[in-house]
Structure 1
């Protein structure tokens, strides 16, 4: 109950505070290529219910038809405006709407695409009892995910082999440890991480065991 009240208060306040800058971002996205302002992908929410997640569009139109679902830092599909938004995680701002509507929480395991959820183990399916969130342990550890995948010959395969298992482990850790105090800590850690600090004990993931393409 406390978590939901906090989500409603935080998302409402966030939408009001960030509405002026969000309008600027929306205009820049529209001016760059005339495409839609928002990306609305299908994700799996609490109790397995699908919903549309909102993000500012950071890639060219119809990006899914010209590449995989994982995005590296050097992906040519990322727009100029999108590169800036991704750097500071500003593309996630519209998810405050998802929080307000009850699809998501401020803090919780990141929502996954249906095909990824279909492959969940019995243990991982426990995550579906929670509302997915805008940020969590995995968001902190892999805040530089695009850079981790930069130069990999197959970003999708690398993501599933090297990153996805660790994200699941961290999501399950959050499920075990969740509390209102922890949510507050993660939100503060998220803001500090966006500002360039590394407050989370897990630190940033590195690229040491990620295969590189021969031309990188």
Structure 2
């Protein structure tokens, strides 16, 4: 897949106060519903595998600042330390419930906390795992000028193509060679032409993923 990369001088400077205000309003309006859903999903995780409901991981955010991202746990406890930092669709470390959570992207719901803290925005490039930053080009590093998002075009692409990492000798190598730069190019293209209509389209695509309409 070939995606035009956005020249650095055509990217906007960064996030706006209006975007931050929209994030906070949307999060607060949805918070009562999200809290109920998170409690139910957390109980499902706890009842089907040993360990906590939440999973915490260090990610790199805006300005190269690290922060702790929150997710519903989809792997067995400690499994993230026994394999690659990326998962295919049939990764044996992922629990049965975790497979469903990942497929529907519901494992990302706790990131509403990251959003309210100001560490993330609703729509934007996904925050990166530090070990992949050395593979970024100078243009791709411009993504770190922006607050990372819960939903983003690159992340939606990676979710659709995660099965390509199954059955490979090194999932991380395959991810870097086949998917990383395509994903980042999509994020750069989004930032170059960021507008409400694009955000609504990405929200609709994410909603379709939750409903199984991939």
Q: Same fold (TM over 0.5)?
A: yes
Which deviates more from structure 2 when the two are superposed, residues 55-64 or residues 143-152? 143-152
1:196 Cα offset (Å): 4.1
Report what 1:104 is aligned to.
120
* Matches for 1:1-216 after TM superposition, within 5 Å: 1-197=17-213
Alignment coverage as a number of residue pairs: 198
Distance in 1 separating the partners of 2:138 and 2:172: 23
Task: Give the Cα–Cα distance (whole angstroms) in 2 for the partners of residues 31 and 168 of structure 1.
Answer: 37
What is the CA distance between 1:171 and its match in structure 2? 1.3
Over the residues paired in the alignment, what is the CA RMSD in angstroms?
1.7
Q: Structure 1: 5+ residue runs without aligned partners?
A: 199-216
TM-score with structure 1 setting the length: 0.85
Find the aligned partners of 1:46 and 1:127 in 2 and give their Cα distance: 8
Q: Secondary structure at the match of 2:205?
A: helix
The structure whose RCO (Cα within 8 Å, separation 6+) is larger is 2
SS of 1:164's partner is helix
Q: For structure 2, list consecutive stretches of 5 or more residues without a partner in the other structure.
A: 1-16
Q: Whole-Å Cα distance in 2 between the matches of residues 165 and 48 of structure 1?
A: 19
